[in-house]
Amino acid sequence: MSNQRIKTPCVGLCSTVYGDLVCRGCKRFHHEVVNWNLYNEEEKRAVWRRLEILLVQVMTAKLDVFDAVRLRTQLERRKIRFVPEQSAYCWAYQLIARGARVISQLDAYGMTLLPEFRGWALPELRDAIDREFFLLSEAHYERYIAPKFLREGLEIFASDR
């Protein structure tokens, strides 16, 4: 596995260039994508943490990681990059995102699907996880970020008068 640390949540599928307020690839907000290289370590950690919390929320509703050591070993063996400091559920997402079409026995990776998802094909589950993760990120943006931008825009507009 590459010893290079993952420096950005970017997955190379940026949709903010097409006008999305939340990137469909990495789930960061448009201003986070644009300003990432200007952020200090604390700001970057805050973004990483929000993404982790939302992804873990989605993943724990779909599967159980019963052996994080086995999962980590498998990721390393298969050279799948992951962020070691994050939850094993984020690691599970990386595995499913990269290997959904070739994995046949999740228990070999220290994971099992919850009963209501056991009949799902992994590519279908991966897509459902990605959609739900995006919807949660979008809802977070609309609830907490968009109103702030609106307030700031109105304040700037009012001060120009």
Mean pLDDT of the chain: 88
Name every residue whose Cβ is closer than 8 Å to that of residue 41 and which is 6 or more positions away in sequence: none
Number of neighbouring beta carbons within 10 Å of residue 27 = 24
Q: How far is CA 136 from the centre of its chain?
A: 10
| Entry pTM | 0.86
pLDDT 10s digits, 55-82: 999 999 999 999 999 999 999 999 999 9
- Mean pLDDT on 89-100: 95
pLDDT, tens digit (0-9, with 9 covering 90-100), for 143-159: 988 877 665 554 544 45
Q: What is the domain partition of the chain in residue ranges?
A: 48-160
Neighbours of 129 (CB within 10 A): 22
pLDDT at 152: 59
Cα(138)–Cα(98) distance, rounded to whole angstroms?
Answer: 23
Sequence-ordered list of residues with C-beta below 8 angstroms from that of 96, at least 6 positions apart, any chain:
103, 122, 125, 126, 129
Residue range 31-62, pLDDT digits in tens:
999 999 999 999 999 999 999 999 999 999 99
Tokens 């990721």 belong to residue: 75
Band of residue 114 on the pLDDT scale cut at 50, 70, 90: very high
Residue 112 DSSP symbol: E
